[in-house]
A = this chain, B = another copy of it.
């Protein structure tokens, strides 16, 4: 039964959520997973400096955090060589996407994304009454030309693109993205989700040009920086758009400790470099483990690898279920043809060993 006081928009929304969380899945199955390789978390962990910052700040949590995340925004400005006025900090990219959609998408407005791309973005668009247009991937890459064409055709307010891509791990060179930004139609905005930018090879990430009015870029401390539990990310964009966040955002919504820990993590370049090395090794290890079972892994610029299970989505879903039955948590894309793949997060060696042990039996069971 729906509450009779809901707005017509809220009353019409589906009850399903974009993701069933890992804790919920564990409760449903009645046991924890042994290998947590499904949420693209960073099992290599955050910088020890970030951990120290958290421990040191625990006694201060009676104070509200800085509503402007001033220190962190200035550190980020220094890091990216941009004015902090182009940066807004929020409760992870998920939170920032919600606020952005609220600011730009009125009921009935068109929004363009790729078929099989990030479900939480779609959730926010639907939640504010936007109409989603979904463009197919091309060769396991999001298709900038087709996304732009669809945006022109539909008069879209937003185009969503992740680079590197989630869930496929593919990426475009910076020049291709810069061409895309230059071609965004008037009145439209490119939402460039760069959650995995830190993991990407040189040449995949466009230079910072936050004065350009056609793009907003989303970054997070949840992936390479290993701080998913703290819920902190940021957006970089043109000043009029960034300042508009202040009209609707939950000003004191960013956890005080998260601001400090993110700053400490940002300053620890050595730890990040070490983690990125381990992510690269783990990508190679996932490729080896899956190749040993006759599967093809896709090239990845992220902290996960999409692995082609060689048949259709039903088969891949069986593989995923059989891995779960063997205590290995992975996820998979939600739409064909991407859903021939499962998506395996990078992780420590012991998790890779669990994957290697579980995969042959899971494949055999899934093929029966």
Q: Name the B residues within 8 Å of A65 (CB-CB).
A: 23, 229, 231
The distance in angstroms between the C-alpha atoms of A8 and B39, with both chains bound, is 36
Rounded to whole Å, the gap between the CB of A94 and the closest CB of chain B is: 5
The reply to whether A61 and B36 form a contact with Cβ atoms under 8 Å apart is no
Would you call A13 an interface residue if the criterion is a C-beta within 8 Å of the partner chain's C-beta atoms? yes
A51 — nearest CB in chain B belongs to which residue?
B58
The distance in angstroms between the C-alpha atoms of A109 and B7, with both chains bound, is 9
Would you call A103 an interface residue if the criterion is a C-beta within 8 Å of the partner chain's C-beta atoms? yes
Question: Given A23-B70, A70-B23, A246-B17, are A187 and B5 neighbors across the interface (CB < 8 Å)?
Answer: yes
Q: How often does this chain occur in the complex, in copies?
A: 2
Q: Name the B residues within 8 Å of A27 (CB-CB).
A: 70
The reply to whether A231 and B244 form a contact with Cβ atoms under 8 Å apart is no
Question: Given A21-B251, A157-B5, are A64 and B39 neighbors across the interface (CB < 8 Å)?
Answer: yes
The distance in angstroms between the C-alpha atoms of A139 and B64, with both chains bound, is 31
Rounded to whole Å, the gap between the CB of A167 and the closest CB of chain B is: 16
- The A1-34 residues at the B interface (CB cut-off 8 A) are 1-10, 13-15, 17-19, 21-24, 27
Rounded to whole Å, the gap between the CB of A326 and the closest CB of chain B is: 20
Question: Given A14-B247, A95-B253, are A66 and B23 neighbors across the interface (CB < 8 Å)?
Answer: yes
Interface of A (DSSP majority class):
loop
The reply to whether A19 and B256 form a contact with Cβ atoms under 8 Å apart is no
Question: Given A92-B252, A253-B92, are A21 and B241 neighbors across the interface (CB < 8 Å)?
Answer: no
The distance in angstroms between the C-alpha atoms of A39 and B256, with both chains bound, is 15
Q: How many residues of A contact B (CB 8 A)?
A: 88
Pull 28 A–B residue pairs with CB atoms less than 8 Å apart, ordered by A. A2-B244, A3-B103, A3-B238, A3-B244, A5-B188, A7-B103, A7-B106, A7-B109, A10-B102, A13-B248, A14-B247, A15-B243, A19-B252, A21-B251, A39-B64, A41-B63, A42-B62, A43-B62, A55-B55, A64-B222, A91-B91, A92-B250, A92-B253, A127-B248, A229-B257, A230-B255, A230-B256, A255-B255
User: 9 additional contacts, CB 8 Å, given A39-B64, A255-B258?
Assistant: A2-B240, A5-B157, A10-B248, A18-B251, A43-B62, A46-B61, A51-B59, A91-B91, A91-B253
Residues of A that sit less than 8 Å from B by CB: 1-10, 13-15, 17-19, 21-24, 27, 36, 39, 41-46, 50-51, 54-55, 57-68, 70, 91-92, 94-95, 98, 102-106, 109, 127, 157, 187-189, 213, 222, 226-231, 238, 240-241, 243-244, 246-248, 250-258, 261
